[in-house]
Amino acid sequence: MQTLDNYNFAGKKAFVRVDFNVPLDENFNITDDTRMVKALPTLKKILADGGSLIIGSHLGRPKKGPEDKFSLRHIVAHLSELLGTEVKFVDECVGDKVKAAVAALKPGEVLLLENLRFHAEEEGKPRGLAEDASDEEKTAAKKAIKASQKEFTKELADLADVYVNDAFGTAHRAQASTYGVAQYADVVCAGPLMAAEIEALTKAVEEAKHPLVAIVGGSKVSTKLTILNNLAQKVDQLIVGGGIANTFLMAAGYKVGKSLAEADLLDECKKILKTLEEKGATLPLPTDVVVAKEFSETAEHRTCRIEDVQDDEMILDVGPETAQALADILQKAGTIVWNGPVGVFEMEPYSHGTEVMAEAIAKATENGTFSIAGGGDTVAAVGKFGISNRISYISTGGGAFLEFLEGKVLPAIEILEKRAQ
């Protein structure tokens, strides 16, 4: 695919799709600007070339049209500070007001459009349908939104000379600004963040140096079943954590008390275990765990053998023996893919397992292992344990990261590659 490196933006206007879906507090202050910071190389390259920027993004999930709490006006001041230049803002993303603002844009200037999702056309889903709408009404609404989405998409594409997609976090969505614009724009480029994400994930999964160890944590097997099945065919060791581990423990015949688990998915877990066994791979189960009778940081808790979990107890972390065993596996890995903690790391009594594992990943990386971490909880754990600079790559994509691990084709990447042909 074409990247920014081989294009000169001098005198050109670029519509850059970024992922500025950043968290805001109750006073609309940005609490984590990682996604904005990671997009800076793209934005600064275009400005340094002598081009002008038209920036598009979404923020949150507005369902009823414009809402102030989802307005991108809240990030204008900080974006101006990061870029070192004034960022102009227009409270729309299409229409005459936007066209006028774009026409007035000079080389070196920056224009931020309003939240793209204020328009239903961005996601291509009808809004305002009554709950009791008939099938005919639903069909008509879908047909209407698809027609208006096409016009919305073309209008976005016509804003600039070049379309740049640097929003890996939305790469799994075939939306107007992530897929549609790339169909109509004259020149299409992938930003360096998008390119880096693709390169890192490909290196970690498709071109992995073995042993390949994947860590998949989370509350439910059902939400990550496709990932587990896909990774089971590729990895040498598959480490599971949280409620996912509890379900695998049940599948292996252990009692997990009142721990979060999915008894209806035991057969699926057994299939995954069989897949791993047939290819000589392993899924190490906890031998000791930290349990409590309540899901609380202040609850009385204890460490016990996995065989000794009582009916009124819940597993909230792996024990020290298991944590060390996992650390030993990670230290020998050639590649590590990390998605999810092994315990309730947000609560201090149940954070030890994830902390030991995080430190082991960091040390392995320092010794030459390629490591990639992704997903909201994982990135939070990386930050909490202070290893951000000791991981090979931290993905900015939540859903996109997971769908790549599932082996799915990501629409935004697919269209970028198609346009490069």
Query: In the 3-class helix/strand/coil scheme, how is 109-135 assigned residue by residue?
Result: CEEEECCHHHCHHHHCCCCCCCCCCCH
How are the residues of the chain apportioned to helix, strand and coil, as percentages rounded to the nearest 5? 45, 15, 35
Q: Comparing 139-143, 192-196, 217-221, which segment has the lowest mean pLDDT?
A: 217-221
Average pLDDT of the segment spanning 253-273: 95
Predicted pLDDT at 314: 97
Predicted pLDDT at 284: 97
Average pLDDT of the segment spanning 178-190: 95
Q: 374, 411, 405: which is closest to 230 by C-alpha?
A: 405
Query: Backbone phi, then psi, for 390, in 5-degree steps?
Result: -120, 15
Predicted pLDDT at 118: 97
Q: Is the pLDDT of residue 421 over 80?
A: no
Q: Which percentage of the chain shows pLDDT scores above 70?
A: 100
Predicted pLDDT at 397: 80
Q: Is the pLDDT of residue 398 over 80?
A: no
Predicted pLDDT at 386: 95
Predicted pLDDT at 407: 84
The CA-CA-CA angle for residues 76, 77, 78, to 5°, reads 95
Find out whether the peptide bond into 211 is cis, omega within 30 degrees of 0. yes
Predicted pLDDT at 264: 94
Q: Which percentage of the chain shows pLDDT scores above 90?
A: 81
Confidence of residue 64 (pLDDT cuts 50, 70, 90): confident
Residues in CB range of 150: below 8 A, 6 or more apart: 180
Reduced to 3 states (helix: H, G, I; strand: E, B; else coil), residue 317 is strand
Residue pLDDT, tens place only, 116-152: 999 999 999 998 888 888 989 889 999 999 999 999 9
Query: Backbone phi, then psi, for 401, in 5-degree steps?
Result: -60, -45
Predicted pLDDT at 6: 82
When computed from its CA atoms, the radius of gyration of the chain, rounded to whole angstroms, is 24
Q: Is the pLDDT of residue 232 over 80?
A: yes
Residue pLDDT, tens place only, 332-390: 999 999 999 999 999 999 999 999 999 999 999 999 999 999 987 898 899 999 999 99
What distance in Å separates the CA atoms of residue 19 and residue 62, rounded to the nearest whole number? Answer: 15
Q: Is the pLDDT of residue 60 over 90?
A: yes
Average pLDDT of the segment spanning 218-242: 91
Query: Backbone phi, then psi, for 253, in 5-degree steps?
Result: 100, 5
Does the domain at 4-190 match CATH 3.40.50.2300? Answer given as no
The CA-CA-CA angle for residues 178, 179, 180, to 5°, reads 110
Please answer whether residues 198 and 322 qualify as being in contact, where contact means their C-beta atoms are separated by less than 8 angstroms.
Answer: no
Predicted pLDDT at 405: 83
Location of each CATH 3.40.50.1260 domain in the chain:
4-190, 198-405
Q: Comparing 28-37, 100-109, 380-389, 392-401, which segment has the lowest mean pLDDT?
A: 392-401
Q: 36, 159, 47, 162: which is closest to 92 by C-alpha?
A: 159
Query: Backbone phi, then psi, for 164, in 5-degree steps?
Result: -125, 125
Predicted pLDDT at 155: 97
The residue written with tokens 């954070």 in the block is 351
Mean pLDDT, rounded, of the chain: 94
Q: Which sequence positions are flagged as catalytic? A: 35, 220, 376, 399
What distance in Å separates the CA atoms of residue 69 and residue 270, rounded to the nearest whole number? Answer: 46
Is pLDDT larger for residue 56 or for residue 22? Answer: 56
**Which residues of 142-272 form beta strands (DSSP E)?**
162-165, 187-190, 212-218, 237-241
Average pLDDT of the segment spanning 204-233: 91
For domain 198-405, which architecture applies? 3-Layer(aba) Sandwich (3.40)
* Token duo for residue 217: 């944590």
Residue pLDDT, tens place only, 268-303: 999 999 999 999 999 999 999 999 999 999 999 999
Average pLDDT of the segment spanning 187-193: 93
